[in-house]
Structure 1
Amino acid sequence: MPNIQLDSIDLKILKILQEDADISNVSLADRVGLSPSPCLRRVRILEEAGIIKKRVTLLDASALGLHVSVFVLVQLERQIKEQLAAFETEIRKRAEVVECYLMTGESDYLLRVLVPDLATYERFLKDSLTRIEGVANIRSSFALQQVSYSTALPLVHLQ
């Protein structure tokens, strides 16, 4: 991945694309003060550099019936390379797990799980998570309300 210096126009492009990935190149160029061709060239450079990884459509979980958000702390029996890799392989197979982080501290992993209801979470827990070899401890916390959520990365430190 090439290392590039981001200028103020690059930062404007990134900010706008984080808000609206569907914006046309003509509109994007207009908003950042470039003509379409140089704007598209900059976007392509940002993509080639790996700064823009991909463009996606964000869905409303609640509108799709995914009303229960659970944060799950998982502790393994041993933190050895093979056990970590095996856990990660199994967890990637589960669509309910929308985020998974290897952590420091008391727990080895933090998962964010989205399901329609408590019964579905219970099935996920009993039929999937507890059956992964090496899992020693599982603690679940249910989100009552999403207070803040953003997919946009903070770019202030680059200005």
Structure 2
Amino acid sequence: MDEEFDAIDLRLLDALQADASLSNQDLAARVAVSPATCLRRVKRLVDAAVIERRVAILSADKLGAGLSALLEITLDRQGAEHLDAFEARAVQEKAVQQCWRVSPGPDFVLVVQVADMPAYHALTQRLLTQEANVRNIKAFFSVKRAKFDTRLTLPEAR
């Protein structure tokens, strides 16, 4: 977005980060603007891809996906075509929640969420072994989630 965000935009973004399920009426009231202004501004933020999507955050434990892992992946060959090929494989896996191409260090960091260790093993067999060009995997398994937040720190209004 080429323009700066004013105080209303920032209040809208902050409120939507806290609860994207708010109706337009409730959002307008929370931000102290008319419903028409609220609707127009949110549409502009969506159209500008400032708001990428609105989602519900589900409880992995309550839905049987209680094993979280962070994987550091180093490829054997790091040419652009090899990096692109691995990335394409990783993003197709439903258990992969996040895929980051990183530097320096490993080539990728993946955040995965699976039911249990057998499901993790099956994921690694599908994604990381059969002709995947993977040289090294370092896995970190979550024993406790101390913080999980999707909110971005917003800039100050000018």
Distance 1:57 1:90 in 2: 25
Cα distance in structure 1, aligned partners of 2:10 and 2:126: 45
Question: Aligned to 2:53, what secondary structure does the other structure show?
Answer: coil
Where 2:57 maps in the other structure, the secondary structure is: coil
Q: Which segments of 5 or more consecutive residues in structure 2 lack a partner in the other structure?
A: none
**C-alpha deviation, 1:75, in angstroms:** 0.2
Separation (CA, whole Å) in 1 of partners of 2:87 and 2:79: 12
Q: Deviations over 1:32-67 (max 9, x none)?
A: 111111111111111111101111111111110111
The alignment of Structure 1 onto Structure 2 pairs a total of residues equal to: 157
Q: CA deviation at 1:130?
A: 1.5
Q: Distance in 1 between matches of 2:76 and 2:91?
A: 19
TM-score, normalisation: structure 1: 0.93
The whole-number CA distance in structure 2 between the counterparts of 1:131 and 1:105 is: 25
What is the CA distance between 1:152 and its match in structure 2? 1.1
Mapped partners of 1:123, 1:11: distance in 2: 43
The 5-angstrom pairing of residues 1-159 of structure 1 reads 2-155=1-154, 157-159=155-157
**Unmatched tracts of structure 1, length 5 or more:** none
The share of aligned pairs that are identical, in percent, is 36
Structure 2 distance, partners of 1:124, 1:140, is 13
* Aligned residues: CA RMSD: 1.2
TM-score, reference length from structure 2:
0.94
Kindly state the Cα deviation for residue 132 of structure 1 after the two structures are TM-superposed: 4.2
Amino acid at match of 1:26: Q
CA distance in 2, matches of 1:132, 1:100: 19
Deviation at 1:119, TM superposition (A): 1.3
